[in-house]
Chain A
Amino acid sequence: MIVADRKPLEEILDMIKECNKILLVGCKGCVTVCNVGGAKEVGILAASLKIARKKDGNPIEIDEKTLERQCDPEYVEQIRDIFDQYDAVLSMACGVGPQFLSEAYPSQTFYPALDTKFFGGAVQHGIWEERCAGCGTCVIHHYDGLCPIARCSKSLQHGPCGGSADGKCEIAKDVECIWDKIVKKKMEQGRLEDLRTIRAPKDWQTARDGGPRKSIREELVQ
């Protein structure tokens, strides 16, 4: 899923400082699963903003709405009747949400309440980790299911580098070295020689480096 964090309350308050009435829109997709942009979090943020503004002697009116998904024009339509009743709309989706909303309602102003972080999953309750960089050409089978493109700080296809020590990455003591894990797994499975293969330079055209991407499924295009 796409994992996001909520922006600091001060930053959100600053974005909407000129507004007296806003619509706060959540999303029932990824950001609900990672507990940052669903109906519950919409309620919490609305309450926090109202309290902060009231404390400042400048109360704000906030309506709440949580869409099935903000990345789908069909669901984005659900605010067609109300979008223009507000000074601005605050989106609690990943970065896709406020853009789809802006495209559907060009006359309204949309603000992002979340910082979109990565593609990942929950490793324990309350902790999510990055697993995929969306590079467009999956190579995890070469590395026994451990992706060095997303999980190595240098995206090395051949590792580890000299900065790996005691299973940790040089960038921080709490960052695991994925190459340490890859090598250990290969050793355990008696397939260390797999790592002798020198891989061709990665084709970054399929990643974000090739420019904005599009996926077309001909059979679905009407």
Chain B
Amino acid sequence: MYLKNRFDVGKFIILAEMQPPKGVDVSEMVNSAVRVKKSVDAFLVPEMGNAVMRMSALGGAMVLQSQGLQTIMQVNCRDRNRIALQADLLAAYGAGIVNIMGVSGEDPSLGDHHQAKAVHDIDLMTLFKAVSTLQAGKDLAGNELTGSPSFLLGANVNARATGDELAKELELMDAKSEAGVDFFIAPPVFDFNAIEPFMEKVNLKQVKILPTIMLLKSVGMARYMARHLNMTISQDLIKRLMRAPDKPLESLTIATEVLSDAKAAGFAGVMISAMGWEEKLQKLMDMV
């Protein structure tokens, strides 16, 4: 069943992020994904997140689709101009990739090819317009297409925003919905109290939002994210992880608790980011 239909019937959606390799050996990506295919509704394939060069989302998604797995292909405005973006969207749909997610793309200075020129020929809102234009059977230049795609379209929403930032974020989310965005992925959440201002303003019955569940691979990682990435991770949670005899198991337990909380709060699903612990996804799914 396509992801769109699963959303439509109200299934609680489980997405898992699946990074394509930095190289051509796709075995780890494929094996990790295949192991959890029964528990995961679709695999989100990032398009060179943090501007780190690796196999493209189109390539990664095609490899996974060839194994019978459903994917969400990320598309960014940083690396391609309007010609390449449209071409890759057509290629994706032609290859059976019907779910996509549009992002701006982090600046090359944050990645591993600092000197690269970012493209940004069109911005994210124009990319969404390009998607709807293609769906209407034309390209951005107004030329007719031979067969048009019909995508399920996703985007990011910063659910951690507060105050004025939250007002701007909600406005942007509305604009994205109007531009055709069907679902939103929110940043990692460890405690839903941290995004309460957002949750108070959003009708989760009307907007499909999937918070990210990030696996805490170590106490150090948790501390770093709390201190430097402005993520709300309580001292209690860090202490709990620190005291746990089996830290990986405790991390997975925390993830299952967040997942249950997301379900109880009325979110449409979750997006699990294993951060290199993809081999532990199966265990996590068994625990859910």
A residues contacting B by CB (< 8 A) are: 201-205, 207, 209-211
Interface segment among B110-118, B156-164, B261-269: the answer is: B110-118
Q: Bound state CA distance, A201 and B114, in angstroms?
A: 11
Contact, CB under 8 Å: B107 / A211: yes
Contact, CB under 8 Å: A209 / B118: yes
B residues contacting A by CB (< 8 A) are: 107-109, 114-118
Contact, CB under 8 Å: A207 / B117: yes
A-B contacts besides A203-B114, A205-B114, A211-B107, 12 pairs, CB < 8 Å: A201-B115, A201-B116, A202-B115, A202-B117, A204-B115, A204-B117, A205-B108, A205-B115, A207-B117, A209-B116, A209-B118, A211-B109
User: What are 22 A-B contacts with C-beta separation under 8 Å?
Assistant: A201-B115, A201-B116, A202-B115, A202-B117, A203-B114, A203-B115, A204-B108, A204-B115, A204-B116, A204-B117, A205-B108, A205-B109, A205-B114, A205-B115, A207-B117, A209-B108, A209-B116, A209-B117, A209-B118, A210-B109, A211-B107, A211-B109
Q: Bound state CA distance, A210 and B118, in angstroms?
A: 8
Residue of A nearest to B115 (CB): A203
Q: Bound state CA distance, A143 and B131, in angstroms?
A: 42
* A207 partner residues in chain B, CB cutoff 8 A: 117
* B107 partner residues in chain A, CB cutoff 8 A: 211
The DSSP consensus for interface residues of chain A is loop
* A211 partner residues in chain B, CB cutoff 8 A: 107, 109
- State how many angstroms separate the Cβ of B93 from the closest Cβ of chain A: 30
* A209 partner residues in chain B, CB cutoff 8 A: 108, 116-118
Q: Bound state CA distance, A207 and B109, in angstroms?
A: 13
Q: Bound state CA distance, A202 and B115, in angstroms?
A: 7
Q: Bound state CA distance, A191 and B114, in angstroms?
A: 33
- State how many angstroms separate the Cβ of A212 from the closest Cβ of chain B: 12
Q: Bound state CA distance, A211 and B106, in angstroms?
A: 12
Q: Bound state CA distance, A12 and B185, in angstroms?
A: 43
Q: Bound state CA distance, A195 and B107, in angstroms?
A: 32
Q: Bound state CA distance, A210 and B110, in angstroms?
A: 11
- State how many angstroms separate the Cβ of B122 from the closest Cβ of chain A: 16
Residue of A nearest to B118 (CB): A209
